[in-house]
């Protein structure tokens, strides 16, 4: 199978569905602000996972495309609001929504996307029995609730000095992994997967999501601005307690700690100090973080291997996505 074509077909259909739901004659500024981040590209990782999962069980493509559009729209709503909360001014190489339209409009655009996501999901469920309807909705709702809790933990961590690796794992499970688990899980549910199959798809997404976030934290320190689409070292400047930072704080010498503590969360740090801090972090944590990401990817694939699939190509697509998730750091 031509994987590139397989993925680009899904992405096109998902983009078209989203565009259709975000068309509007009245209040044009609100809708323009809501469409902004979609036009900046993005990997569409969550819909790719949802649709491939559905395909692997022989699910209806029309349904999975709409559910995929819902999950991408939900994800985008969280990005718009996270950028306000984190005071980030660049995303995917574009000014963030609140920078372009002001905070009130950005809050409102996020709220609209949140509701639009539910609208798309509701429409994707036409004709289903009550039990599937209720369970898909519940999984989707829980992903927003869990994500909000994860974001609250992330914000709280910035003011704490005693964040442990277990705290971090709990936080990224909530903030990132749960929505990816929800993508593969819903893909299974809307394609006739039973409870056991749902569990396996859900765990596949959960472990893949953890792996994905760890790699994202690594990329946040190794890549330059054009690759990142946002300023380099912003995680360090904001004092984010990533796995890398926690591991480093646990292991660094007292001399290294002195520098780290003066740089982490200090928005006035010089580029030179940020670079020094990044070097210290690399030395202590990269090998460890990469191995952990690899371990979770293997756990994800192990769940996938137990699935009684109908379409091998779609499973291959999910394996490709999993490998890419970890490899992209290089």
**Residue numbers of the site for its own copies (CB under 8 A)?**
24, 26-27, 29-30, 78, 81, 84-86, 103-105, 107-108, 110-112, 114-116, 118-119, 122, 125-130, 133-134, 137-138, 141-142, 144-145, 148-149, 151-153, 155-156
Q: How far is CA 106 from the centre of its chain?
A: 20
CB of 187 to its own copies, least distance (A): 20
CB of 131 to its own copies, least distance (A): 9
CB of 76 to its own copies, least distance (A): 13
Give the 3-state secondary structure of residue 2: coil
Nearer to its own copies, 189 or 317 (CB): 189
Asked if 173 and 202 touch (Cβ cutoff 8 Å), the reply is no
Nearer to its own copies, 129 or 272 (CB): 129
Q: How far is CA 221 from the centre of its chain?
A: 18
Nearer to its own copies, 7 or 178 (CB): 178
Q: How far apart are CA 324 and CA 326, in angstroms?
A: 5
Token pair 């769940």 in the structure block, residue: 303
Asked if 304 and 318 touch (Cβ cutoff 8 Å), the reply is yes
- Which residue in 136, 161, 153 sits closest to 70, CA to CA? 136
CB of 46 to its own copies, least distance (A): 17
CB of 160 to its own copies, least distance (A): 13
Token pair 């890398």 in the structure block, residue: 244
Phi/psi of residue 235, nearest 5 degrees? -60, -45
Nearer to its own copies, 9 or 86 (CB): 86
**Torsion of Cα atoms, 288 then 291 then 293 then 295, to 10°:** -130
Nearer to its own copies, 4 or 127 (CB): 127
CB of 200 to its own copies, least distance (A): 24
Across the strands, what pairs with 95? 90
Nearer to its own copies, 106 or 180 (CB): 106
Token pair 């996938």 in the structure block, residue: 304
CB of 83 to its own copies, least distance (A): 11
Token pair 């277990």 in the structure block, residue: 166
Nearer to its own copies, 105 or 299 (CB): 105
Nearer to its own copies, 78 or 303 (CB): 78
- Which residue in 147, 91, 87, 90 sits closest to 117, CA to CA? 147
CB of 87 to its own copies, least distance (A): 9
Give the 3-state secondary structure of residue 94: strand
Q: How far apart are CA 156 and CA 240, in angstroms?
A: 10
- Which residue in 269, 245, 267, 268 sits closest to 257, CA to CA? 245
């Amino acid at each position: 199978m031509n994987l590139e074509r397989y993925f680009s077909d899904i992405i096109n259909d998902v983009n078209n569905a989203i565009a259709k739901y975000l068309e509007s004659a009245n209040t044009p500024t609100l809708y323009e602000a809501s469409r902004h981040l979609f036009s900046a590209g993005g990997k569409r990782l969550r819909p790719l996972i949802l649709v491939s999962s559905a395909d692997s069980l022989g699910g209806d493509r029309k349904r999975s495309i709409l559910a995929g559009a819902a999950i991408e729209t939900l994800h985008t709503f969280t990005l718009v609001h996270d950028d306000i909360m984190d005071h980030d001014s660049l995303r995917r190489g574009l000014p963030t929504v609140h920078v372009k339209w002001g905070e009130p409009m950005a809050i409102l655009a996020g709220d609209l996307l949140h509701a639009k996501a539910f609208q798309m999901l509701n429409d994707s469920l036409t004709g289903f029995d009550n039990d599937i309807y209720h369970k898909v909705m519940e999984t989707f709702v829980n992903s927003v609730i869990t994500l909000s809790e994860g974001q609250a933990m992330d914000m709280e961590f910035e003011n704490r000095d005693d964040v442990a690796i277990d705290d971090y794992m709990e936080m990224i499970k909530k903030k990132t992994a749960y929505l990816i688990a929800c993508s593969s899980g819903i893909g299974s549910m809307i394609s006739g997967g039973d409870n056991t199959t749902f569990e396996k798809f859900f765990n596949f997404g959960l472990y893949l999501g953890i792996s994905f976030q760890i790699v994202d934290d690594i990329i946040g320190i190794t890549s330059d601005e054009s690759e990142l689409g946002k300023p380099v070292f912003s995680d360090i400047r904001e004092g984010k307690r990533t796995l890398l930072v926690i591991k480093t704080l646990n292991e660094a010498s007292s001399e290294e700690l002195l520098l780290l503590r003066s740089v982490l969360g200090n928005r006035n740090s010089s580029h030179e100090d940020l670079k020094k801090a990044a070097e210290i972090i690399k030395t202590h944590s990269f090998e460890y973080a990469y191995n952990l990401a690899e371990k979770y990817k293997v756990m994800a694939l192990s769940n996938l291997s137990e699935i009684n699939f109908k379409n091998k190509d779609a499973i291959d697509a999910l394996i490709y996505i999993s490998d890419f998730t970890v490899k992209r750091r290089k």
